[in-house]
Amino acid sequence: MYALYSALAAFFLVLTLPYWVLQMTRHGKHRVGLRQRFGAVPPALAASGERPTIWVHAVSVGEVIASSAVITALQNKFPAHRVLVSTTTSTGRKLAAQRFGAENVFYFPLDFAMAIRPYLDALQPELVVIAETEFWPNFLRLAKRSGARIAVINCRISDRSFPSYKRFRFWLPRLLENTLRNVDCFLAQTEEDKRRLIEIGAYATKIAVTGNLKFDVAPPPLPEIVASLREDFERSAAGPVLVCGSTLEDEEGSLLSAFRNILVDHPRAVMILAPRHPERFDEVAALVERLGFRMWRRSLWSGEVLAGGVLLVDSIGELATIYSLATVAFVGGSLVPRGGHNIIEPALYGVPVVTGNHYENFRDVVNFFALCNAVRIVGLAELPLVLIELIENGEERATLGRNALAALQSQRGATARTVSALIELMSGGS
């Protein structure tokens, strides 16, 4: 069963090799950390075998942010242990290194025994903590066989992934069920996630609903660039400020069209545009210029007045705090069927939030905010009108912002429940 899975995974890797080579050649993606992904353990990690280890896997930036408080709590609760963090993306690794030290961070190995075993042999983790939903069959099997206890925290089964898991269970039922049964506990975000876990093969007795860690995230400290931009806006009477974050292809054109309508009555308005993927920065810059907007790139901005134009955020890791500048925030990946992105980041600042109607990846958060009148959900046709309405209606903006903060406050507590469950697991509970 596992041999068949490994053979299929290897075949898929070889089949898609030209794509990965193209990505590395054109954009530099996946090149960094390639040796680690194939099982080369960094020397600093190999030395950690002298201390007991807790291994936390957080795929990318969102998972690192959401699990940071849990990681810190584990460091405090188990000071004799070394808490190590793996990521899949380079942006996730950069943020994890900033928060927990580069010597404690590495790239997650590919799901092949030859890549996984060196890490398990070197680290000998007592506890493996996986953030959200990373059900790698070989990794979970080998980690369990090594003696580690395994927990999946902030676990969710999204609307997009649920049908895939059900198909996987139909074709390879024993593989999926055995994979899930290697996990000692699932800490699910919602009752619906618990129900879906059971439906794809997890034991109900291993699942607890602890809430969404993202609700517990505190606003990060504001960096110097945010203070500089705020001063510039105040000095030049620029505004209103529309922050469009995590945008994808086929979204920027519609957002820029809506911004053109805003400029008619608000000629000193500013649009801060932050594409989701760094490799698209130049492409989006060309689009903005082709459509005739004044544009500044964040990487080159040196204090020029931004009124009446577009600031392109061509940097990594700054969007979460840039949302604090928004008169209105739009969260992308949602005007096109890509599942949306995290609306909690702007909500943390009491900013009125707009998102598209493709928000499947954050179904529960968006639906809860909608129930609390704390978000506006729009399609392409309504987008310009809703943005203009919010920009011109200060009372409505204030109401959305207050409701968002209240919604966040009402859902806090997932971190404490998660840490409590992990401590119990470490002490021998199940």
Catalytic (active-site) positions: 63
CB count within 10 Å of CB 167 equals 10
| CB distance 376 to 354 below 8 Å | yes
Does an H or E element contain 189, and which? none
The Cα–Cα gap between 211 and 410 comes to 11
Q: Is 359 buried (19+), middle (13-18) or exposed (0-12) by CB count in 10 A?
A: buried
Residues 6+ apart with CB under 8 A from 204: 194, 198
Strand locations in 49-140, DSSP E? 53-57, 82-87, 105-107, 125-131
Does an H or E element contain 312, and which? strand 309-312
| CB distance 284 to 275 below 8 Å | yes
| CB distance 252 to 284 below 8 Å | yes
The Cα–Cα gap between 140 and 162 comes to 20
Does an H or E element contain 377, and which? strand 376-378
CA-to-CA dists, residue 202 to 1, 135, 179, 251, angstroms: 18, 12, 9, 38
| CB distance 378 to 329 below 8 Å | no
Angle of helix 173-181 relative to helix 2-15, nearest 10 degrees, comes to 100
Smallest Cα–Cα separation from 182: which of 110, 236, 134, 227?
Answer: 134
Q: Scan for tokens 């395994």, then name that residue.
A: 150
* Farthest-apart Cα atoms in the chain, separation: 66
Q: Does residue 330 sit in helix, strand or coil?
A: strand
Phi and psi dihedrals of 188, rounded to 5? Answer: -85, 155
Strand partners, 377: 355
Does an H or E element contain 242, and which? strand 241-247
